[in-house]
Structure formats: structure tokens, C-alpha cells
């Protein structure tokens, strides 16, 4: 079971600026917990996502344990990818590839066709610089814009990505619309069809329906899940009312109930939870 902790997703749309020093302290605490990967920041336009403008500075102050959590940074264009691949501590670059034309334009100012070309460019940069690309199938379970969607469309775009030898593809429920039946259909088809690909799940959900989503993906063999402490965050480019992320606390309880062995440093986890309460107060 791989747990991908996503403080970047929690911070990026937060309604007040988070001081750089607070981000550094929070991330350094998370790095002590033992998560497989920390989605820590993004190399994107500061005009689009001002909360992430200090990602490079934050990175320079992180204490990364040897053989510990790996770092993932989100990029939205070639310029951001070129900056990210030059950062030695980063293992993964993440790119949001939306299968909703409307959202792809909103999120990266590119059409789906243009984004597919960009994925190829970023993949080449990653290979050249010994990084790994993670492609997020944004709006992977439907969209609120009326753009065409069904499971077949999602599978079609996954097939296109696999032709580029993308090794990690995460299906993202960007606006919290995924239904268990659709989750089951996608993962049950994709995982056996592409054994060379590691499929993940990035669920946004309300507190009442997170478990059915996780259970549906888990039952079909998904073992890579994104979450955030206390379920904070969502995508600020999706719509005005953010749907929260899957809460790490809930995911940990799910793992315990399903006898998934995890080796996490509990004191560091507790400290990270306390810091989250301070950083994201008073809304918690």
C-alpha cells in the first residue's frame, strides 16, 4: 500500500497566505512520518496559484531522510517541468491531464490535444533527467461542465498515455462525483489491461462517502492512494465550492481494518496533525 500525502493540494487553494516558514516546518514534519511520497508543491504560474509561488524556496529548506519519503511536484507546462527536473531532491513530476476539455483549458490553458503533446515533452524531460512522470486523469469520473464523459472515454485516454510508457497513472475524482460502480468498472478494466502501469486513486469526497470510493478501488487492486491530513483542500481551478480531499486519518483506519501493514512514525504524525490545526485554523 502506497500512501501519497498531499499537503500541496491542501495549501494551494487556501484562502489566506501561508508563511513559507510554516510550510517548511509542516513539510519537514511530514517527511518524518514515513509516507511513501509527499506531494509537496508545484512549479506553476504564481498568478494562477499564488500559494505555490515559494515552492523552490521551500524545497531548499527540506530535510529529506535517506531512503525516506519521495517528493512529487506538480507542473502545468514545459517551463515548470524544466525547472522541476533540475531539482535533485524531486523524484516525481505530476501533470494534471484532464479528460474534460473545459477543465483542461481552465487548469492549464491548453486543449486536451495540446496537453497530450505536452505530456510527451514532459515524459522526455523526465527520462533525460532520471525523474518519473505521474499523470493524473483529472475529471476522471465525470465533470460538472457537460463535457462528454463515460468510462470508455477515460479508458481511451489512458490507452493513449500508455503508448508513451507512462508508468504511474492516477485517476482523479476532481469534483467528488465518482460513484462506486464507475470506480469499480475503471479499475477492474485498467489494472489487468495494463500490468506495466501503477494505477492510483486521487479522491475528493465529502466526509460521508469517502469509504465507498476507497473500498471500490481497493477491491479491484488499487494500492496507491492520495490523501491529506484532516481532508483539507481540493482543486481551486475546478469550481468555487471546494470538495475536500480524502482524509489521511480515514485512509489509515481503512488500512488497519484491511490488515495493510504500514510503518509510520506516530509521534511525527501527531505533530503534523497539530501543525495542520494551526496552519489551517480557524476553518478546521
The CA-CA-CA angle for residues 241, 243, 247, to 5°, reads 150
Cβ contacts of 3 within 8 Å, gap of 6 or more: 35, 36, 37, 225, 227, 248, 251, 252, 255, 262
DSSP state of 141: T
Long-range CB pairs of 144-150, under 8 A, 24+ apart, other chains included: 144/175, 144/177, 144/238, 144/239, 145/100, 145/102, 145/103, 147/100, 147/101, 147/102, 147/103, 149/99, 149/100
Whole-number pLDDT of residue 227: 96
Q: Residue 236 has what pLDDT?
A: 46
Series of mean pLDDT values for 10-residue runs along the chain (284 residues): 96 91 98 98 92 97 94 97 98 96 89 96 98 96 92 96 97 91 97 98 87 97 96 59 80 97 96 95 61
Give the sign of the dihedral formed by CA 53, CA 32, CA 243, CA 138: positive
Q: In the numeric block, which cell numbers belong to residue 86?
A: 533540475
In this prediction the pTM is 0.93
Alpha-carbon Rg of the chain, whole angstroms? 17
pLDDT of res. 234: 58
CATH of 2-280, one of 3.40.50.2300, 3.30.1300.30, 3.20.20.70, 3.50.50.60: 3.20.20.70
Do 186 and 157 meet the contact criterion of CB atoms below 8 Å apart?
no
Q: Which residues pair with 96 in a beta bridge?
A: 136
Neighbours of 277 (CB within 10 A): 13
Amino acid at each position: 500500500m502506497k500512501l501519497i500525502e498531499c499537503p500541496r493540494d491542501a495549501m494551494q487553494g487556501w484562502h489566506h497566505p501561508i508563511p513559507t516558514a510554516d510550510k517548511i516546518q509542516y513539510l519537514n514534519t511530514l517527511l518524518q512520518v514515513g509516507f511513501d511520497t509527499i506531494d509537496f508543491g508545484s512549479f506553476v504560474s504564481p498568478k494562477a496559484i499564488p500559494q505555490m509561488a515559494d515552492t523552490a524556496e521551500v524545497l531548499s529548506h527540506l530535510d529529506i531522510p535517506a531512503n525516506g519519503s519521495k517528493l512529487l511536484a506538480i507542473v502545468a507546462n514545459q517551463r515548470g517541468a524544466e525547472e522541476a527536473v533540475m531539482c535533485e531532491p524531486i523524484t516525481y513530476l505530476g501533470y494534471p491531464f484532464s479528460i474534460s476539455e473545459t477543465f483542461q483549458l481552465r487548469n492549464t490553458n491548453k486543449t486536451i490535444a495540446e496537453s497530450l503533446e505536452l505530456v510527451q515533452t514532459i515524459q522526455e524531460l523526465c527520462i533525460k533527467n532520471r525523474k518519473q512522470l505521474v499523470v493524473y486523469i483529472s475529471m476522471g469520473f465525470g465533470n460538472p461542465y457537460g463535457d462528454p464523459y463515460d468510462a470508455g472515454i477515460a479508458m481511451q485516454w489512458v490507452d493513449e498515455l500508455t503508448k508513451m510508457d507512462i508508468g504511474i497513472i492516477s485517476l482523479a475524482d476532481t469534483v467528488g462525483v465518482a460513484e462506486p460502480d464507475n470506480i469499480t468498472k475503471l479499475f477492474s478494466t485498467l489494472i489487468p489491461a495494463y500490468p506495466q502501469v501503477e494505477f492510483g486513486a486521487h479522491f475528493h469526497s465529502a466526509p460521508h462517502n469517502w469509504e465507498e470510493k476507497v473500498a471500490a478501488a481497493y477491491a479491484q487492486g488499487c494500492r496507491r492512494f492520495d490523501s491529506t491530513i484532516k481532508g483539507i483542500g481540493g482543486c481551486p481551478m475546478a469550481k468555487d465550492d471546494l470538495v475536500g480531499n480524502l482524509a489521511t486519518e480515514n485512509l489509515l483506519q481503512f488500512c488497519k481494518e484491511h490488515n495493510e501493514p504500514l510503518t509510520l512514525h506516530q509521534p511525527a504524525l501527531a505533530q503534523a496533525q497539530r501543525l495542520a490545526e494551526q496552519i489551517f485554523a480557524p476553518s478546521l
